Amino acid sequence: MDADFWLQRWRAGQTGFHQSRVMPLLQKYWGSLALPAASRVLVPLAGKSLDVVWLAAQGHQVLAVELSPLAVEQFYAEQGLKPEVRDSAMGRHYLAGNIEFLCGDIFDVDAATLAQCAGFYDRAALIALTPELRQRYVRHVYGQMAQGCRGLLLTLEYTQEQMDGPPFSVPEAEVRKHYGEAGGWDVQVLDRRSILDKEPKFAARGLDSLDTVVYRMERQSA
């Protein structure tokens, strides 16, 4: 999925992936990370997620990265916030309170910025990428985070042949290979549950099973 694909989805209003509530699994498991309140937290491919608002309410300095200017503008308009705006080599920065959106390509975020993040929350990024891009994404983003960084990764698992992504199925073996074996991350499964009965649109696309998995991740070596 290239950049134009996602930009067009936002322009066309094809944003069925946007959730109108905070992700319950985030609320349930975020506390297990025991991150200090003022920690900087990365939210990649954030869209206009309400999860960003929830993380900021916990006292974190949230850095949300989103490709679509339309998504960023809608986020601030819907939250009633008026951000300060500046540009950098990475893209356009929107800052209001402890929420900063970086409107740009996640692959343009530099090493220094990633290393400053003590935590992360990845609900929609990894599963939005093709297998080829996933490996590059993990290497670029998670390969440049500091030792001790920790966060939550949410994935989906289904029979890939039954449905074209995105979202893509990312099996546990792939997560452990990219993050654990090659990336120096400790990978723990916190939750695995079937959600097909709550996602009729996926059943309508031909799936006979759909699981969501929550991982707790911590960087052991950098």
**Residue-wise pLDDT tens digits, 19-66:** 789 999 999 999 999 999 999 999 999 999 999 999 999 999 999 999
Q: Distance between CA 116 and CA 210 in Å, rounded? A: 35
pLDDT of 84-100, one tens digit each? 999 999 999 999 999 99
> In terms of C-beta density within 10 A (0-12 exposed, 13-18 middle, 19 or more buried), how is residue 16 classed?
exposed
**Could you tell me the residue ranges of all domains in the chain?**
3-219
pLDDT for the residue numbered 58: 98
pLDDT for the residue numbered 18: 53
Q: Phi and psi dihedrals of 50, rounded to 5? A: -70, -15
Report the range of poorest mean pLDDT among 15-19, 60-64, 131-135: 15-19
To the question of whether residue 66 is assigned a binding role by annotation, the answer is: yes
pLDDT for the residue numbered 181: 83
Tabulate helix, strand, coil % of the chain (nearest 5).
Answer: 40, 25, 35
Q: 207: closest CA among 157, 171, 173?
A: 157
DSSP string, 181-213: ITT-EEEEEEEEEE-GGG-HHHHHTT-S--EEE
Q: At the topology level of CATH, where does 3-219 sit?
A: Rossmann fold (3.40.50)
pLDDT of 156-215, one tens digit each? 999 999 999 899 999 999 999 999 987 899 999 999 999 999 999 999 999 999 999 999
To the question of whether residue 45 is assigned a binding role by annotation, the answer is: yes
pLDDT for the residue numbered 16: 59
Q: pLDDT-based confidence at 13, cuts 50/70/90?
A: low
pLDDT for the residue numbered 5: 75
